[in-house]
Structure 1
Amino acid sequence: MFKVNLLSNKKAFERFVLLQFTIVMMCILIFYKVAYTYTHIIEQNILLNVVYGIVGFSILYFIHEFIHNMMFRLLSKGQKPAYQLQYGLLTTHMPNVYFKKWQYLTIMLAPLVIITLILFIVFSNFAFSSIIFMMSFHVGYCVFDLYFLKGVFNSEVKYIEDTTEGIVYYTQAPMQVQTDFK
C-alpha cells in the first residue's frame, strides 16, 4: 500500500501548478497550429480570449467535477462521493470504496475525453479562438487527474481508494474488498 497526496505538500503543489501553467501554454500553441491547418479561426483579441477562456473554463470545471461524480456513482453502485474544498479547488472523492484499476482509470479519464470531444465538436462548428483557450485550460486542469493515474500503471497495484487525504494504492486487496469481490 502506498499513498499519494499532492495537496499536503505546498512546495510540490506550487511546482505542479507551474507545470500545469506550462502545459496550458503549450496546448494553446499546439491547438492553434493544428486549428490553422484544418480551418479558418475566428480571431478574437488576447484579452477576450483570456476572459472567455477563464469564464468558459469555470463552467467546464463544474461539468468536469459533475462527470467525476457520475462516474464514481456509476462504478461504486450508487454510493455518494464526498467533496473537499482545498486551495480553492472543489474535488470529488470516494473514501471507503475500492476501485479496480480499470474503474479508476475510467473515472479519471472520463472528463478529459468527454469535455475535449464536446469542445472539439463545438470548435469545428464555431471556430472562435477563445474555445482554444477553454480547451487548453481544461487540459491543463486534467493534468491533475493524470497525476493521480501514475500509480495505476504500477503492476503491483490491485485496488485504488480515492480519499479526502489523497489516493491510496493497494498492492493487496483490503479486507472489505476481499469479501465484496469473492
Structure 2
Amino acid sequence: MNKYVLDIFKDQDALKTLNKWSILITLGAFILFYLFEVLFTNTTGSAVIGWSPLELLLSVILIFLIIFAVITVHEAIHGLFFKLFRPRGNVKFGYSKGMFYATSPGEVFRRHEFKIIIIMPFIIITALMMMIWFIVPHASIKYFLALHTGACAGDFYYLHLLNKHPEMQYVEDTDVGMTMYESHPDG
C-alpha cells in the first residue's frame, strides 16, 4: 500500500515552504483586505498618529490578546471538527517551532473529512471577522484578517498536499503531521 508521510517538524523543505507561504499569504491577504476596505466598507478609525505612549502600549497589549484569542479559537475549531468526525478520538493541543496546533493522533479520516477539519477554522473565523467588520467598521480588522489568513498557511499546505495526492483516500493524523494512504491502513 502506498503512503505519504509528513513530519512537519523534521521536514526542512516543508518548514521553508510554510515560512514562504505564510509571508506571501499574509501580504496578499493584506492587499486583498485593504482593497476590500476601500471598495466596500465605511471604515472608521485612524492609525496611531497622535496617540499617547500609554494608549500605544495598551493597544499593543490588546492586539496580542486578540491574536492569542483568534489562535485559540482557530485550534478549538480544529478540535471540534476532529471530535465531530471521531467522537471517541483524543484531541491534543500544543505549540512547537513557532506553530500552534490541534491534533487527533492515530485517528484515520477519509480525505474529505480531513479537508473539512483543516479548512473550517479559516472559513468560520474569516466569516465572523467579515461580519464584525460590517457591524463595527474599524481599520484594524483588515490586519487581523490578514494575520489570521497568513497563520492558516499550515492548513493551506495540508490542503495542497491532499490535492497533490488525489490517490490518497485516507489520512491519519499524527503528533507531527499526517500520513496519507491509498486505502484504509487497517484494511
Q: Report the Cα offset of residue 127 of structure 1.
A: 1.3
For the residues of structure 1 that align with 2:129 and 2:37, how far apart are their CA atoms? 13
CA deviation string 1:24-83 (max 9, x = no partner)? 1221121111121112221331687x9455442221000000001111011012322123
* Counterpart position of 2:179: 168
- More relative contact order in 1 or in 2 (CA 8 Å, sep 6+)? 2
Using structure 2 for the length normalisation, give the TM-score: 0.84
Is this contact kept in 1: 2:90–2:105, CA < 8 A?
A: no
Give the ranges of 4+ consecutive aligned residues of structure 1 lying more than 3 Å apart after TM superposition: 9-12, 50-55
Match of 1:95 among 84, 105, 111: 105
What runs of 5+ residues in structure 1 fail to find an aligned partner? Answer: none
Is this contact kept in 2: 1:53–1:131, CA < 8 A?
A: no
Is this contact kept in 2: 1:99–1:161, CA < 8 A?
A: yes
Asked whether 1:82 is paired with 2:92, we answer yes
Match of 1:62 among 52, 64, 72: 72
For the residues of structure 2 that align with 1:174 and 1:11, how far apart are their CA atoms? 26
* Counterpart position of 1:6: 8
Using structure 1 for the length normalisation, give the TM-score: 0.86
Is this contact kept in 2: 1:53–1:137, CA < 8 A?
A: no
Is this contact kept in 2: 1:73–1:79, CA < 8 A?
A: yes
Higher relative helix content: 1
For the residues of structure 2 that align with 1:150 and 1:11, how far apart are their CA atoms? 14
Query: Matched residue pairs, number?
Result: 175
